[in-house]
Amino acid sequence: MIDIESQEIQLTFNNKKGILHLESKLFPGVGFSSRFEILGEQNGKTVQLIQKNTIFQALPEEITGQESQTYQLAVVPTIAKTRVELTIKLPLDKNFALFQFRISNLGEKPISINKISFLDILPGDLNLGIFNEEQLPFFYSNGWQSWSYTRTYQLGEKQRFSKLGRLQNPMVLNPGTPRPRKCNQFSGDMFGVVGDHGTEVGLLAGFLSQKSHFGSLLTQFHPQPSLKMWANGDHAELLPGKTITTDWAAVSFIDLVEPEPMAPYFNAVAREHNIQWNHPSPTGWCSWYHFYQNINQEVIESNLQSLVEIKDELPLTLCQIDDGFEKQVGDWYAFSKGFPDGVQNLATKISKKNLTPGIWLAPFILHPKADLLLVCLM
């Protein structure tokens, strides 16, 4: 039995039964129980490298540093001539636990890695506070790229997908992430949050990077929520003598009352990628989300005036002109009829209102009727 704790988390891992239990020290009664699982394929047959009765042996018993407590364990016995090692890390001053798998092929035949599950929380095994009939669970679903659908889903809703279907799905949907169609079933990419509006507590789960595998999540409300999180192996072959190491998986209990409840996770992601920044990301108004391409100089000036009038209530810093100002996509120096004077004067007016002027460009996209394309073809 492994039993460690930080300032905010109590972690227990029954290495003889493979059961993980995390409990919050800040929110009484909040916690969950879960299991690990790794699915592969060899000789056309499914192989479970970790299953319910898997025993983990500590190697070594404990590694304690100034910043974290770390345990390294190996699966016993060896299955399909592989060696599976699990690292559990609990930073002493952070509100999250970290997990990582290392899989080595010790045999003479390749093995396909299909799914590396870090969380498999069943209904009733996740407690976000006092359960009652008015429990209001929600799930924050993150999309993997800027055009993917991202939103918070409530009890009784269905997941949203674009009506463009096959025209857009290959670009915005990850093949390894499920596409639930039933009510109260939701998926997400990279990271997500299962929370409760009544207790205002959430469980954040996600990966610190997507360097080795692509991460997916799936939840279902019963109304008690379940949560699964895994790294997609994509059926990639692990050749004999080779080893793969997953990205770090992180789980954390968060206070939804906080202005930035996911900040510790995002900061950990930044440290993982050695990202440093000195300026906050701008927040502001963009013409695309209401007017689409139907904009002109009057529309921009009118909304600029509105931004100025409500600045005390909504202190935005950016005013962005999106698609519709140019003659065609690709003609950045030729303007549509709605912008007879171009956009330079508008940028000056925006700056004089102490806002940052922004503009949308697609440098690698040309409209079939763009003047630039016609010149290139001549």
Condensed to tens digits (0 to 9), the pLDDT of residues 76-93 reads: 766 778 999 999 999 877
Confidence label for 35 from pLDDT (cuts 50, 70 and 90):
very high
pLDDT digits (tens, 9 = 90+) for 131-147: 555 678 999 999 998 88
Maximum average pLDDT range among 106-110, 229-233, 364-368: 229-233
User: One-letter amino acid identity for 360?
Assistant: W
Query: pLDDT for 158-188, tens place per residue?
Result: 999 888 888 888 888 899 999 999 999 999 9
Give me 153's structure tokens. 């889903």
Share of the chain above pLDDT 70, in %: 95
Residue pair 130/29 in contact (Cβ under 8 Å)? The answer is yes
Would you call the peptide bond into 368 cis, given omega within 30 degrees of 0 as the criterion? no
Q: What is the mean pLDDT of the chain?
A: 90
Which 8-state DSSP code applies to residue 342?
Answer: -
Q: 162 near 145, Cβ under 8 Å? A: no
The model carries a pTM of 0.81
Please check the confidence at residue 373 and state whether its pLDDT lies above 70. no
pLDDT beyond 80 at 129: yes
pLDDT (tens digit per residue) in 303-333? 999 999 999 999 999 999 999 999 988 888 8
Evaluate if residue 202 carries a pLDDT over 70.
yes
Read off the pLDDT of residues 244-295 as tens digits, 9 standing for 90 and up.
999 999 999 999 999 899 999 999 999 999 988 777 788 999 999 899 999 9
Residue 246: its H or E element: none
Q: Is residue 371 very low, low, confident or very high in pLDDT (cuts 50, 70, 90)?
A: confident
Read off the pLDDT of each residue in 31-53 and give the average, rounded to a whole number: 91
Strand ranges inside 260-361, DSSP E: 284-286, 318-321, 356-359
CA 258 to chain centre: 19
Closest CA to 248 of 10, 87, 67, 36: 87
Q: Which domains does the chain have, with CATH numbers?
A: 2-272 (2.70.98), 284-377 (no CATH)
Yes or no: say if 356 and 317 are a contact pair by the CB < 8 Å rule. Answer: yes
CA 151-152-156 angle, to 5 degrees, is 120
CA 152/CA 300 separation, integer angstroms:
30
Query: Residue 312, SS3?
Result: coil
> Is 97 a residue whose pLDDT tops 90?
yes
pLDDT tier for residue 60 given thresholds of 50, 70 and 90:
low
DSSP letters spanning 31-54: EEEEE-EEEEEETTEEEEEE-TT-
pLDDT, one tens digit per residue, over 327-353 is: 988 888 899 999 999 999 999 999 999
